Amino acid sequence: MRNFEFLSPTKIIFGRGVEERVGEEVKQYGKKILFHYGKSSIFKTGLYDKIVKSLKDSGIEFIELGGVQPNPRLSLVREGIELCRKNGIDFILAVGGGSVIDSAKAIAVGVMYEGNVWDFYTGKAEPKSALPIGVVLTIPAAGSEASKSSVITNEDGWYKRSLNVDIIRPKFAIMNPEVTFTLPPYQTACGVADIMAHVMERYFTNEKGVDFTDRLCEATLKTVIENVFIVLKNPTDYNARAQIMWASTVAHNDLLSTGRIGDWASHMIEHELSGIYDIPHGAGLAIVFPAWMRYVYKHSIERFAQFAVRVWNVEPNFESLERTALEGIERLRRFFKDIGLPTTLKEANIGEDRLEEMATKCTEKGEIGNFVKLNREDVLNILKSVVG
Ligand code: NZQ
Ligand code: ZN
């Protein structure tokens, strides 16, 4: 097990009705805020009115910027930066999912920087300061409510790239599972695939002596796997929604990375897919992750067999550990199908014409992945294996 530092400063406020406390939380950080949200869900669910009331009751002045789309765009980030500067904004409230939160994080660092905010996403510069941000989460998926990441798509070339720094971790995340009752089944499933992917990226490590975090990862995966079927049948099951919502935060606040180094190649490959084809990130992961596993499992058949037995209840095959390992991968793929996700590019209406381009973009800074290093050819092979 490696030495580690663990920082998770986000205050989590979880449970029924907690969104009504947003005003009093915001008040601790800002007087004039940017209220940032997505397209239409917060109006349909009534959340918009509750947030506005709570902000007004707490005497907070706010301006609004809605319209964040899934796979959030750089152009709206630039608009947000201008708006914040013009209005002397001192805090950003993100009400939505990963896309809204990531857009808010990008604005938060962009406001404090004289150069081009995209520099932070290409590695040309590192942000030194950020406006504080707070979150009211509406979809359990990306884990952005407590993560140090922001993922933005630059329309100029359709590059989807991430920034990873602790200063953008939100000050607080308000999480009411009831708010997620309105999520359509497909969006629920996409969220679950992303949560699981965050755990699996960390699970597949070369580090030895990490049994505690292995077990935490397995518990997180098993909980999500069980509860997704409950919410797909009954979208208003509070306790099942609550399990998934809390799991989404823990899957990506870095607790599960303590003492180990994760892989992250599947995420990098997926970001090319959702960057170019604008599919939900979770759907892309359902295609890429089992394919990545089939490509690399020989690197550690033991670890894949452990995953199969402990997470998927595969009966260990003592004569062929490899068969056990492969059965675990197949159960993951079938699970994604069972919850309504694509597992081939064809099922996501993606053709073969841009595979080379994606492999090139994905590896333009060199090999990707830590558990197993992958070059351009490897990425291309993985993509080709899921054409469908
Ligand atoms: O825009 P609205 O109308 O709000 O609709 C949204 C959107 O269409 C809808 N939705 C959200 N809450 C809802 C709801 N519909 C009904 N009821 C509700 N309660 O769901 C759709 C998807 O929203 P989005 O924010 O895009 O989802 P998600 O949280 O999955 O975020 C995905 C983005 O996060 C990035 C992904 O790449 C993608 O761009 N990621 C961010 C990470 C991070 N910052 O740490 C890590 C992840 O690996 C990921 O890359
Ligand atoms: Zn993800």
Domain boundaries, given as residue ranges, for the chain? 11-179, 184-384
194 lines ligand 1 (CB under 6 A): yes
Q: List C-alpha distances in Å: 371 to 196, 200, 215, 227, 260.
A: 17, 11, 18, 29, 11
The CATH class, in words, for 11-179 is alpha beta
Give the residue from 143, 117, 335 showing the smallest Cα distance to 257: 143
141 lines ligand 1 (CB under 6 A): yes
pLDDT means per 10 residues, the chain with 388 residues, are 97 98 97 97 96 98 98 98 98 98 98 98 97 98 98 96 98 98 98 98 98 98 98 98 98 98 98 97 98 98 98 94 98 98 98 97 97 98 97
Identify the DSSP state of 314.
P
Rounded to the nearest angstrom, the distance between the alpha carbon of 263 and the centre of ligand 1 is 23
Cβ–Cβ < 8 Å for 85, 111: yes
Q: Which pLDDT value is given to residue 197?
A: 98
Q: Please name the residue ranges forming H helices in the chain.
A: 22-26, 41-44, 47-57, 74-87, 98-110, 119-122, 185-203, 211-233, 238-250, 265-277, 281-296, 301-312, 321-338, 355-362, 376-384
10 lines ligand 1 (CB under 6 A): no
Rounded to the nearest angstrom, the distance between the alpha carbon of 99 and the centre of ligand 1 is 5
Q: Which pLDDT value is given to residue 195?
A: 98
What topology does CATH give the domain 184-384? Answer: Dehydroquinate synthase-like, alpha domain (1.20.1090)
Residues with CB under 5 A from ligand 2 (ion): 194
Question: Ligand 1 test: best mutation among 44, 138, 200, most atoms within 8 Å of CB?
Answer: 138
Q: How far apart are the first and last CA of the chain?
A: 39
Q: Rounded to two decimals, what is the model's pTM?
A: 0.98
Q: Which pLDDT value is given to residue 263?
A: 98
Beta strand 32-37 with 159-164 is: unpaired
DSSP β-bridge partners for residue 92: 34, 133
Torsion angle in degrees (nearest 10) through CA of 133, 134, 137, 143? 50
267 lines ligand 1 (CB under 6 A): yes
Rounded to the nearest angstrom, the distance between the alpha carbon of 173 and the centre of ligand 1 is 15
140 lines ligand 1 (CB under 6 A): no
